[in-house]
């Protein structure tokens, strides 16, 4: 384990009841680093994010956050420590407005109302589509706008690590490009680390410096993104080349 890792996952096993889904997973993220987690359907990618977010209790192994153990810390406290998960399927409060959804992200913050308002305006600058619809119900947004709102809500927690699960799901290539550009801009401004789970491998490897491949619950590869892009096996399995 690198001494100054922001997140270090060591030999993590996670099971649903009797069925083990993750096996001895090792994964590390440095401060401010953008990392992709790739792998086929059912490999356990969402499970890994949910375990890090404190939504699932690992069977074995360790999750170390900024030098301190994160295992057994409840999800609400995990957010307060600076980890945010933008879940698969977005999970917005459909009946609440865009502004209310975004403000919910700041619920656990203790740095004062002024800082939260400033961040809200920052999110609206980042996503002008949301600014124009701030009083509209989130359920009435387009798929792309809902994804922006979900990411915005994640950013409103003021994360040091933003975990994004399948952000491209169901979106047009144009919407994905736009959201990726906004994420890159947010990363340049705030410098938070990101863990990107994606089926759109090309996009993920564009954003990420490093990537891991998870297959049937085990990490089978971890490398620099540009080396993975050039790897014939990765090209064949994930890039359709
Ligand atoms: N709540 C649950 N109870 C039991 N088994 C589950 C549960 N959630 C997921 N699984 C199983 O765990 C395995 C990993 O699922 P997971 O959702 O983590 O995969 P994934 O890599 O995110 O897949 P996808 O790319 O389709 O989103 C699958 O076999 C799945 O059926
Ligand atoms: Mg998943």
Report all structural domains of the chain as residue ranges with CATH numbers, in order of start: 5-96+159-238 (3.40.50.300)
**Which of 19, 45, 59 to mutate to test ligand 1, by most ligand atoms within 8 A of the CB atom?**
45
pLDDT at 169 over 80: yes
Of 57-61, 117-121, 199-203, the poorest mean pLDDT is in: 199-203
Ligand 1 centroid vs 95 CA: distance in angstroms? 28
**How far is residue 95's CA from residue 93's CA, in Å, rounded to a whole number?**
6
CA proximity to 191, closest of 166, 155, 147: 155
User: Which whole number is the average pLDDT over 6-32?
Assistant: 97
- Residue 202: which pLDDT band, with cuts at 50, 70 and 90? confident
Burial class (CB in 10 A: 0-12, 13-18, 19+), 19: exposed
Q: How far apart are the first and last CA of the chain?
A: 34
Residue 241: predicted pLDDT: 60
User: Which whole number is the average pLDDT over 137-165?
Assistant: 95
Residue 73: predicted pLDDT: 85
User: Which residue would you say has higher pLDDT here, 91 or 219?
Assistant: 219
Residue 159: predicted pLDDT: 95
Residues with CB under 5 A from ligand 2 (ion): 45-46
- 19-31 pLDDT, tens digit per residue, is 999 999 999 999 9
**pTM higher than the cut 0.85:** yes
- 60-118 pLDDT, tens digit per residue, is 999 999 999 987 788 888 888 899 999 988 789 999 999 999 999 998 888 889 999 99
Of 83-87, 116-120, 160-164, 231-235, the poorest mean pLDDT is in: 231-235
Ligand 1 binding pocket (C-beta < 6 A) is 16, 19, 21, 39, 41-47
């Amino acid at each position: 384990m690198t001494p100054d890792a922001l997140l270090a996952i060591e030999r993590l096993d996670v099971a649903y009841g009797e069925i083990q889904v993750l096996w001895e997973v090792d994964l590390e993220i440095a401060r401010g680093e953008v990392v992709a987690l790739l792998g086929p359907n059912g490999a356990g990618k969402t499970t890994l994010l949910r375990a890090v977010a404190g939504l699932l209790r690992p069977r074995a192994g360790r999750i170390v956050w900024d030098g301190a153990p994160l295992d057994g810390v409840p999800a609400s406290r995990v957010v307060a420590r600076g980890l945010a998960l933008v879940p698969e399927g977005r999970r917005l409060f459909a009946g609440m407005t865009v502004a209310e959804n975004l403000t919910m992200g700041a619920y656990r913050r203790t740095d004062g109302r002024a800082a939260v308002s400033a961040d809200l305006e920052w999110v609206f600058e980042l996503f002008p589509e949301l600014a124009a619809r701030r009083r509209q119900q989130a359920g009435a947004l387009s798929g792309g706008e809902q994804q922006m709102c979900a990411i915005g809500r994640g950013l409103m927690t003021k994360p040091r690590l933003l975990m994004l699960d399948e952000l491209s799901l169901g979106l047009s290539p144009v919407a994905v490009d736009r959201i990726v550009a906004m994420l890159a801009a947010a990363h340049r401004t705030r410098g938070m680390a990101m863990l990107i789970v994606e089926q759109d491998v090309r996009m993920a490897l564009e954003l990420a410096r490093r990537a891991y491949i998870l297959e049937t619950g085990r990490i089978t590869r971890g490398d620099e993104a540009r080396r993975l892009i050039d790897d014939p096996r990765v090209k064949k399995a994930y890039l359709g080349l």
